Structure 1
């Protein structure tokens, strides 16, 4: 399945960042990469179910590339075939005290959090969301 999102690996687990064009997917991905994450894919992610896990990888045509608004397409080291642990939904209002939510992708439920990607704390919140559900390896 081809999914419109960016994806980074944090501590060996993939985080999908979904939202409309211009919502801040690549920007949040870059800030997570600056904090030690690794690029998996930018803008389009190939998702598959393998042994009960959702796996993310980059389409061959865009592997190792990320769009940096104002600079263009940039080459970057990347990871592939990473198990997905979290979906960050951009553009949805972030609730103050949200109830746990999930979205089913390729038949597998993935925890979902809504974040504002342009808040300075957004990368930290993404990392905290991974910890909250015990999803860090």
Structure 2
């Protein structure tokens, strides 16, 4: 499956954890990815992400023709050191968001991934990515323990231990 999205990753607790950044064209996905790169994230893919499932986890990579490239509006397409692929622990929708959202998941190739909404052009958006990745993506099952007790049962697919 190919998603119209970006993918960045952070090295947390000994492994790369990916954040899939989705939204309509022109919303600021690449802008958010560029600012995340300046905050220590690494590029995996910009604009298009090849998604696949393996042993209950979701993975992503750039199509070969786009590997190591990111678009910076007003500058053009730039080369950026990239990692080849990573496990996706969190999805981000670039849209208006609630102050205290309910737990949400998005299905990709049969797997449910924790999902948050962010306004990509907010100055705090890269910091929110890291915090959400640490909180939700690092141990998704624990992050939503209370909703699970309430009967919400997501399928596996987040970056669990």
Aligned-pair Cα RMSD in Å:
1.2
Q: Which residue of 1 aligns with 2:123?
A: 120
Asked whether 1:105 is paired with 2:82, we answer no
Q: Which residue of 1 aligns with 2:9?
A: 9
After superposition, where does 1:45-64 map in structure 2 within 5 Å? 45-64=49-68
- Which structure 2 segments of 5+ residues have no match? 140-158
Asked whether 1:96 is paired with 2:99, we answer yes
Q: Which residue of 1 aligns with 2:142?
A: none
Asked whether 1:19 is paired with 2:39, we answer no
Number of aligned residues: 136
- SS of 1:36's partner is coil
Largest Rg, 1 or 2: 2
- Which structure 1 segments of 5+ residues have no match? none
| CA distance in structure 2 between the partners assigned to 1:30 and 1:135 by the alignment | 22
Q: Which 4+ residue blocks in structure 1 deviate beyond 3 angstroms? A: none
Q: Which residue of 2 aligns with 1:74?
A: 78
Asked whether 1:133 is paired with 2:106, we answer no
Decide which structure has greater helix share.
Answer: 2
| CA distance in structure 2 between the partners assigned to 1:66 and 1:95 by the alignment | 29
CA-to-partner distance for each residue in 1:105-129, whole Å, 9 max, x for gaps?
0111101100001111101111111
| CA distance in structure 2 between the partners assigned to 1:103 and 1:49 by the alignment | 14
Whether the 8 Å contact between 2:89 and 2:138 is mirrored in structure 1 is yes
TM-score normalised according to structure 1 size: 0.95
Deviation at 1:81, TM superposition (A): 2.0
CA-to-partner distance for each residue in 1:74-105, whole Å, 9 max, x for gaps?
111101220000001012x2101101100010
